[in-house]
Structure 1
Amino acid sequence: MTSEPLLRNPLKEKLSRGEPVFSMTVRLVRTVDIAAIAHAAGFDSVYIDLEHSSFPLEAAGQICMACTHLGVTPLVRVPGLDPFLIARVMDAGAMGIVVPGVQSADQAHAAVSAVKHAPWGERSFAGSAPQLHYRSLPSDQTIRALDETSMVVAMVESRAGLDATEAIAAVDGVDIVLVGASDLSGELGFAGQVDHPEVHKAFLHVIDACRAHGKTVGIGGMGGRPDLIRQYLDLGAGYVSTGNDISFLSAAAAQKRRQFDGGLA
């Protein structure tokens, strides 16, 4: 009889079954309510954006713990490869990190090393973990549970990152290579043109590299183009960053306001 694992990562499990997953970015809402909203809306994951917001770590940790209780996998996009910040993010309750602007295998290795404990990485062991509901467990069990379920998402957003995609995808411990179409289109000289042939060519290159190394391709910066998202899912991508809470609120507010145009005396 197989015992129940100490910790589960629903996002990782779904990807292992070959099912697409959909993520919501959190940049605005600082309270745990956003975890319940994401769950009710059917999102598999949220990632809290510390790169493009003033989000405090304490609020990020509270949302991460709420997500874990609801079966929504919490990730955090860190602003860079500072191992001390990454350790604090993970110790606060994240089940993985999103790293922007990865441009080499060495940077991908550094991200994995900051997330994982020895012998896989260099993260210091903090003891009882929020992901495990602060249960007091033997250290080896806690470390194994955390490292087996934690994730590293490497973002490719530049020419250098695109050139290094094969090497990045080959790094043990990288789970997803996420194409940031907004920044990448600008880097390629076609800012905002996420449907440009050169952006399409870049996606095909990342899909081929990830297929060769058994990694998941992520789609970012295309929340307004579900047609393109469907195209890349059909070509083998598996993770979709659908948009952020600011854009969702703004779009819903504008739609609601338009409902009243011409309808009032």
Structure 2
Amino acid sequence: MNTEATPLLRNRAKEKLSKGERVYSMTVRLVRTVDIASIAHTAGFDSVYIDLEHSSFSLEAAGQICMACNSLGVTPLVRVPGLDPSFIARVMDSGAMGIIVPGVESAEEARTLVRAVKHAPVGGRSLAGAAPQLHYRALPADQLVRELDQASMVVPMIESQAGLDAVEDIAAVDGVDMLLVGASDLSVELGVPGQLDHPRVHEAYLQVIKACQANGKFVGVGGLGGRPDLIRQYLDLGAGFVSTGNDISFLSTAAAQKRQQFE
């Protein structure tokens, strides 16, 4: 079998984006058990991203959910708090299919992220051996590296004016797959907190979309889960990945709606 032509490891979200198809993701901040993977799968989500920036999630819980997602064909991404290569490596070794880093503001930070996620010669991540993403198959080292690096995703977030100022350089970094716009933090940074339909936020999205299109990178929409009208607008303009909201907001909204039925 030609393993380069027929990879053993598939990142379905990355494949859909490569085909120009849309990818819908659910953020996980509350649920610590593998049940959330099945819920995401049944609900029709292509991906989950586990938020280690704004939660008390343990690495063990994140890894268990990643492995459950991989078995169901739901792509597990993990948002880490920062650019700590040793921690990023542990997250990847636990089963993640990609890393999201908040507040990236320079091409050098983006290159640091690529080096943390990828193995040599692209990066500098240590080879851990049999990987959970591949169900612990014993593979030759060169094939293992190839499989993991081809499937993994590197996703810097654009959430600040400094990030916008450097967005063309960030998008041009080899190994970066997608830029994810964090509209909530970005609106605060731009002086219009919470005004997600403000012209400044719109112009920022257009700037990111233009930079990604010029460099062959995917565009992710974040922070607009409550504004499907805006999400549709940016999808029409070229975005492909949508962070639809998190499990806390889903549960709270459904609970409130159910309670109101009995008024």
Q: TM-score, normalised by structure 1?
A: 0.97
Question: Aligned equivalents of 1:162 and 1:55: distance in 2?
Answer: 29
1:38 equivalent to 2:63? Answer: no
Q: Once superposed, what is the RMSD of the aligned Cα atoms?
A: 0.9
The C-alpha deviation readout for 1:13-46, integer Å capped at 9, x for no partner, is: 0000001111100000000000000000010100
Q: Secondary structure at the match of 2:259?
A: helix
Runs of 4+ in 1 over 2 A off after TM superposition: 1-4
Q: Secondary structure at the match of 2:156?
A: strand
1:139 equivalent to 2:141? Answer: yes
1:174 equivalent to 2:173? Answer: no
1:213 equivalent to 2:215? Answer: yes
Q: Secondary structure at the match of 1:177?
A: strand
User: Structure 1: where are the runs of 5+ without partners?
Assistant: none
1:151 equivalent to 2:153? Answer: yes
The C-alpha deviation readout for 1:37-62, integer Å capped at 9, x for no partner, is: 00000101000000000000001000
Match of 1:50 in 2: 52
Match of 2:261 in 1: 259
The C-alpha deviation readout for 1:141-183, integer Å capped at 9, x for no partner, is: 1111000000011100000001010000001111110110000
Which one of the candidate residues 128, 131, 142 is aligned to 2:130?
A: 128
1:23 equivalent to 2:25? Answer: yes
Shift of 1:5: 1.4
Question: Aligned equivalents of 1:132 and 1:217: distance in 2?
Answer: 27
The C-alpha deviation readout for 1:195-240, integer Å capped at 9, x for no partner, is: 0001001111111100000011111000000000000000001110
Match of 1:111 in 2: 113
Q: Counterpart of 2:136 in structure 1: which amino acid?
A: Y
Shift of 1:257: 0.4
Size of the alignment, in residue pairs?
A: 261
Q: Secondary structure at the match of 1:114?
A: helix
Question: Aligned equivalents of 1:202 and 1:113: distance in 2?
Answer: 27
Shift of 1:2: 6.0
User: Structure 2: where are the runs of 5+ without partners?
Assistant: none
Match of 1:241 in 2: 243
Q: TM-score, normalised by structure 2?
A: 0.98
Question: Aligned equivalents of 1:125 and 1:160: distance in 2?
Answer: 33
Match of 1:60 in 2: 62
Match of 1:92 in 2: 94
The C-alpha deviation readout for 1:89-134, integer Å capped at 9, x for no partner, is: 0000001000000000000000000000011100000000000000
Q: Secondary structure at the match of 1:5?
A: coil
Shift of 1:6: 1.3
Change (3 A) 1:47 1:132: same
1:163 equivalent to 2:196? Answer: no
* Percentage of pairs with the same residue: 77
